[in-house]
């Protein structure tokens, strides 16, 4: 049985990746942060008590800021594959917390890589790199496009990209980067723009919220579907040689396109409900990200099928269904706090 370790298992991608690996027969280990409230809602449905002999998902407390924890943990698990998904992953927040973002999103990767090296474990390593690294480089972006990051987040990801390549070249590790363009799902964090929009569409339609505050509606993004992207991550680690790949759909829509599709889907006119709030602007914005994933299609046979506007409808339906399934207390739940 193959063993995998996922950092960031409680996040959107970590949860889909854990499902995928369990379905392929893996034993899956996940790093989780200790928190005063439970942060495992995306993975609870797969959790089996570890006393049950059928259990194949195991969770371990740890943090990618804590290298001294990672070395014995990786040594003890002895994984065949590590997926480094842990990050402070919000671009706007990275301007408020640049040092923390550098520590987790940047240095976190070298702590994991160095733990693998020091523990002497023979395993393959996947780094969740980002289209934000391309930043101001004009689209379409592919593996050869120069990096021009526009946020502390993007800059931290550039460090992680290069340190992953360096460990591959310096130590012969099978260490690869997935240059991932935006990918979304009903499990997307509620403060990323797609989920913020689809959740608001459902709540406004249900009459529990009236107004949605947004920033720049002109940004162009290449939005794909998260379950398809975790399949791409897995394929990168099954390849014969360690190489870096772009994962993207190649399609381009503005935030306004996504917004209007989501609101149309529930019969609402977005212009009656959306207001501008400058707090959601970034000091430096990334105007257009449109990926060319031709290399992944040719070498890995990876081809995404769900495009942005279908995704908008899938996510609105899921947020509507979630409201239907919630009992009384949801009515009193506040709208998103204003800092998100």
**Residues linked to residue 253 through DSSP beta bridges, in sequence order:** 221
Residue closest to ligand NDP, measured at CB: 11
Partner in contact with 280, chosen from ligand NDP, ligand GDR, none, beta carbon below 5 to 8 Å by kind? ligand GDR
Considering only residues 3, 5, 7, 116, which one is a binding residue for ligand NDP as defined by CB under 6 A?
7
Q: What are phi and psi of 149, to 5 degrees?
A: -65, 150
- Residue 203 site contact among ligand NDP, ligand GDR, none (CB < 5 to 8 Å, cut-off depends on kind): none
223 binds, among ligand NDP, ligand GDR, none (CB under 5 to 8 A by kind): none
Q: Is 132 a catalytic residue?
A: yes
Q: Comparing C-alpha atoms, which of 177, 173, 122 is closest to residue 147? A: 177
Give me 84's structure tokens. 């480094």
Among positions 43, 59, 82, 87, the unique one binding ligand NDP when judged by CB under 6 A: 87
Answer yes or no whether residue 74 interacts with ligand NDP by CB under 6 A.
no
Query: Cβ contacts of residue 3 below 8 Å, gap of 6+?
Result: 26, 27, 28, 29, 77, 78, 79, 80, 81
Between 27 and 319, CB nearer to ligand GDR: 319
Choosing from 89, 129, 130, 160, the catalytic residue is: 130
Give the tokens for residue 81. 């594959």
- Asked if residue 315 binds ligand NDP (CB under 6 A), the reply is no
Contacts 24+ apart (CB under 8 A), 296-302: 296/232, 296/235, 296/245, 296/246, 296/247, 299/239, 299/243, 299/245, 300/232, 300/235, 300/236, 300/239, 300/245, 301/235, 302/231, 302/232, 302/235, 302/245, 302/247
Question: Does the annotation count 153 as an active-site position?
Answer: yes
C-beta closer to ligand NDP: residue 273 or 307: 307
**What is the C-alpha separation between 18 and 28, in angstroms, rounded?**
7
Least distance in angstroms from the C-beta of 279 to ligand GDR? 8
From the list ligand NDP, ligand GDR, none, partner contacted by residue 228 (C-beta under 5 to 8 A by kind): none
Classified as helix, coil or strand, 2 is coil
SS3 134: coil
Marked catalytic residue, from 153, 161, 225, 229: 153
Does 189 interact with ligand NDP (rule: CB under 6 A)? yes
Contact residues for ligand GDR, defined by CB under 6 A: 89, 91-92, 130-132, 181-182, 191-194, 196, 214-216, 219, 221, 255, 280, 282, 285
Instruction: Establish if 79 lies at the interface with ligand NDP (CB under 6 A).
Output: no
CA dist 23 and 63 (Å) reads 26
- Which residues are at the interface with ligand NDP (CB under 6 A)? 7-8, 10-14, 31, 33, 35, 39, 63-65, 85-89, 104, 128, 130, 180, 182-183, 189
Where in the sequence numbering do the catalytic residues fall? 130, 132, 153
């Amino acid at each position: 049985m193959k063993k995998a370790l996922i950092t960031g298992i409680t996040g959107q991608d970590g949860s889909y990746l854990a499902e995928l690996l369990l379905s392929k027969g893996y034993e899956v280990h996940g790093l989780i942060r200790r928190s005063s409230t439970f942060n495992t809602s995306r993975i609870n449905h797969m959790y089996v008590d570890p006393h049950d002999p059928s259990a194949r998902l195991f969770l371990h407390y740890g943090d990618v800021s804590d290298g001294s924890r990672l070395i014995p943990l990786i040594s003890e698990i002895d994984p065949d594959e590590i997926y480094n998904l842990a990050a402070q992953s919000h671009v706007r927040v990275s301007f408020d917390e640049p040092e923390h973002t550098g520590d987790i999103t940047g240095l976190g990767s070298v702590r994991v890589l160095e733990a693998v090296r020091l523990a002497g474990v023979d395993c393959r390593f996947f780094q969740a790199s980002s289209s934000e690294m391309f930043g101001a480089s004009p689209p379409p972006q592919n593996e050869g496009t120069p990096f021009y990051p526009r946020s502390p987040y993007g800059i931290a990801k550039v460090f992680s990209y290069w340190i992953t390549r360096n460990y591959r070249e310096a130590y012969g590790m099978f260490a690869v980067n997935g240059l991932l363009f935006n990918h979304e799902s009903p499990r997307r964090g509620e403060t990323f723009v797609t989920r913020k929009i689809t959740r608001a569409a459902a709540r406004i339609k249900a009459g529990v919220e009236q107004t949605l505050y947004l920033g720049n509606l002109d940004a162009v993004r290449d939005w794909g579907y998260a379950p398809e992207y975790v399949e791409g991550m897995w394929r990168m680690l099954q390849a014969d040689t360690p190489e870096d790949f772009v994962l993207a759909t190649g399609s381009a829509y503005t935030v306004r396109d996504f917004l209007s599709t989501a609101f149309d889907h529930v019969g609402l006119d977005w212009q009656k409900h959306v207001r501008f709030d400058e707090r959601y602007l970034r000091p430096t914005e990334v105007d257009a990200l449109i990926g060319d994933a031709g290399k992944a299609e040719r070498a890995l046979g990876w081809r995404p099928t769900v495009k942005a506007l279908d995704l908008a409808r899938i996510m609105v339906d899921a947020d509507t269904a979630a409201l239907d399934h919630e009992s009384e207390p949801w009515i009193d739940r506040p709208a998103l706090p204003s800092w998100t």
